[in-house]
Structure 1
Amino acid sequence: MSCTSPVTDPEITHPILLPCLEIADVARRSTQIIMTDKVTGQKHYTAPIRHLLSALNELRRRDRETFRFLKDTKGEVEQEKIAVDRQSLSLQNLYYEQGYLKGEIKNCCEFPSIYTCIPLIPEEEYLISHPQDCELSPHQLMISRLNHEISERERLDKHRKELAQKRASLIQENKQRKEELERLDKQLQAFIESAGPIEKVFEKY
């Protein structure tokens, strides 16, 4: 790179730093002019010195701005880091909840449901009496069979209650007849006992 080439750095691309390179290049060129004039004995370096001082002042101002920018950026980065950490923690919690829910779903799928203990009529027999359910999915078919079992049990329970009511009525009727027969038996026994003297009178003849 020649001494008159502008100052460049491929690693510096931020907009706030690029003007600093240009100002530094002005300061470098002004310094070169001043040094050249001193070597050659010329005394026309007042303007270059003024440019150099102006460039240095501008660099100091830019340095303060850059420092404030870096400080603010560092604060923003810290805030973003906190937000990312919070999001990472939330994501980990979601993964934990997902794993927990998957485990619960697996346990529910493997848990022996009460319907497996209910003695249902065989599926083939059920489909013979309910051919409209042949196209149902296994889940819907099981629900239909359970509903059928409920209705059948309700019907049988109603019939059982009716029979129990008839039985209670017959027991009550038999009890009343038994009491009536016992009463008639007592009356008959009393009649026989009261007819004893009359029988003795007839025996004399």
Structure 2
Amino acid sequence: MARDDLITDPALLSVLQSAAQARQQSLAILDLLEEYHARDQSASPSDETALDQQLALSKQQKVLNAHLAQLRGLNRKAILGVRATKQETGEARQEIDSLHLQLQNLYYEQRHLRGEIAGCEDYDHQYKRLPMIPVEDFLSAHPEHSNSSDHDLTIARIQDEHTARQALEEQRQQLVKKKDALVKETVAKKEELGKLDGEIEKWLGGQETVRRVFEAREKKMGGVQGQA
């Protein structure tokens, strides 16, 4: 494969073209100098011939200087292009490094989240120990959850258990209030019975005193009658 087939960049092709032109022009000047040198050795040149030689050589040198100036411009352009390419490469490398760091962070975060998910899946949740009604009985009582996912069905069962426990708690509190009222009523009746027992004892004590008085009077009257 030829060298020209390997190089396809337009900037490099223009450099090669200018270099080739400068090389050809340099060879042409060398040939001209050799021709003039050989002619000078074979015959003595006249002033007019020497002037023509200098004019022709000057023209060729001007053409060569033009090619060299074009090469210097292309070289300067290439240097600026290399600098710009280095800057772009550095910026692209920084961006790649930043993206790589972000990718590593995402990888670590993904691994952390997977560990958290595995921990949650293996966690002994308290709801698993709740004495909830079987799924079949719950679906029979709540057919609107027949097409729910396992997650939504579990939440609905927990909410149903919570509602049932709240109702039981309300019943318990009502029974506790009823029990407290009955206890208060029993205590009040006990106190009332105690007061009644005290009054009865007082009444019985008064009756005993009256009986003794009557008995003493009867004995006294009986003694008086016996003396008469």
**How many Å separate the matches in 2 of 1:83 and 1:127?**
56
The aligned counterpart of 1:169 is 181
Match of 1:51 among 63, 66, 69: 63
One-letter code aligned to 2:9: H
Does structure 1 residue 116 correspond to structure 2 residue 142?
Answer: no
Match of 2:83 among 48, 57, 71: 71
- Greater CA deviation, 71-80 or 120-129? 120-129
What CA RMSD, in Å, does the superposition of the two structures yield over aligned residues?
2.3
| Contact 1:8–1:21 (8 Å) recurs in 2 | no
TM-score normalised per structure 2: 0.77
What is the Cα deviation at residue 64 of structure 1? Answer: 2.4
What is the Cα deviation at residue 23 of structure 1? Answer: 1.3
- Greater CA deviation, 123-132 or 64-73? 123-132
**How many Å separate the matches in 2 of 1:85 and 1:79?**
10
Does structure 1 residue 199 correspond to structure 2 residue 211?
Answer: yes
Match of 1:86 among 92, 98, 111: 98
Q: Residues 23-63 of structure 1: CA distance to partner in whole angstroms, max 9, x if unpaired? A: 11111111222233344447544433221122122222322
What is the Cα deviation at residue 184 of structure 1? Answer: 0.7
Structure 2 unpaired stretches of 5+:
40-52, 219-228
Relative to 1, partners in 2 of residues 1:29 and 1:122: Cα closer, same or farther, differing over 3 Å? same
Relative to 1, partners in 2 of residues 1:59 and 1:135: Cα closer, same or farther, differing over 3 Å? closer
One-letter code aligned to 1:67: I
The aligned counterpart of 2:167 is 155
**How many Å separate the matches in 2 of 1:53 and 1:20?**
15
SS in 2 for 1:136: coil
Does structure 1 residue 14 correspond to structure 2 residue 9?
Answer: yes
Does structure 1 residue 185 correspond to structure 2 residue 180?
Answer: no
Larger-gyration structure (1/2): 2
One-letter code aligned to 1:199: R
Figure out how many residues of one structure are paired with residues of the other and give that number: 199
What is the Cα deviation at residue 172 of structure 1? Answer: 0.3
What is the Cα deviation at residue 162 of structure 1? Answer: 0.7
TM-score normalised per structure 1: 0.84
What is the Cα deviation at residue 131 of structure 1? Answer: 4.0
Calculate percent identity across the aligned residue pairs: 32
Q: Residues 131-171 of structure 1: CA distance to partner in whole angstroms, max 9, x if unpaired? A: 44334333222222212211111111111111111100000
Does structure 1 residue 30 correspond to structure 2 residue 25?
Answer: yes
Q: Residues 100-125 of structure 1: CA distance to partner in whole angstroms, max 9, x if unpaired? A: 11221222222222211211122233
Q: More helix by proportion, 1 or 2? A: 2
Match of 2:110 among 95, 98, 102: 98
- Greater relative contact order structure (CA < 8 Å, 6+ sep): 2
- Greater CA deviation, 65-74 or 95-104? 65-74
